[in-house]
Amino acid sequence: MHVHGIRRRSISCDVALFFALLATAIALGAALAHALELPNKIGLSVSEYFTVQQTYRGWNQLAYVLFLQLIAIMSVIILARHAPYVRGFAILALLCLIAAQALFWIYTYPANVATVNWTSIPPNWETLRRQWEYSHLAGAAFQLLAMSALIIAALARERDRQAESTHHVTINYAKTSSDQ
């Protein structure tokens, strides 16, 4: 029974880790799109920049992916409570997601509001453009770190499994020895 409980917990953690990796990969793709286009967009004229910004209509749907990313990473943290390597790197991934979101809400979103989603040109639009572009660049870096942490967590699963099986063998041996 105990072995089955470990196996069930391990499979559940693997499924959560799969969804955490998948959601993070999708979020990272969008974040890298912003980062990679920055050199070509940062010098555009006001009319060109505001025209290009309209291609982001509907990107708010990415919030669903970010929510799945959050839930999946938190699930890994909970399910990996007996797997310190996996859990530690999942916590790091969560902290990176939180940092990326903090940047969005502190810098990116206010620029969207000030420009009415880039349909109204305020006098400080160039400052807002830099704020928007560079906050997305920093957010992409945090999403890349989150993805890296989750990959390391996935690779660390075997180390945690070996440590856990060694622990159970030691306990079982101790019980057997004391029973004699």
Distance (Å, rounded) from C-alpha 94 to C-alpha 101?
11
Q: Is residue 72 part of a domain?
A: yes
Q: Is residue 105 part of a domain?
A: yes
What confidence tens digit (pLDDT) does each residue in 137-172 have? Answer: 999 999 999 999 999 999 998 776 666 666 554 545
Distance (Å, rounded) from C-alpha 156 to C-alpha 84?
9
Does the structure show a pLDDT above 80 at 175? no
Determine the structural domain holding residue 108 and report its residue range.
Answer: 11-175
Does the structure show a pLDDT above 70 at 27? yes
* Of the listed ranges 10-14, 114-118, 135-139, the one predicted with least confidence: 10-14
Res 10: pLDDT? 81
Q: Is residue 111 part of a domain?
A: yes
Distance (Å, rounded) from C-alpha 132 to C-alpha 61?
18
Q: Is residue 131 part of a domain?
A: yes
Structure token pair of residue 27: 């979020």
Chain position carrying tokens 């999403």: 143
Q: Is residue 116 part of a domain?
A: yes
Buried b (16+ CB within 10 A) or exposed e, 55-72: eeeeeeebeebbebbbeb
Give the chain's domain count.
1
Closest CA to 153 of 9, 12, 5, 20: 20
Structure token pair of residue 7: 């196996």
Q: Is residue 5 part of a domain?
A: no
Q: Is residue 104 part of a domain?
A: yes
Q: Is residue 127 part of a domain?
A: yes
pTM, two decimal places: 0.84
For the beta carbon of residue 138, count every other beta carbon within 10 angstroms: 18
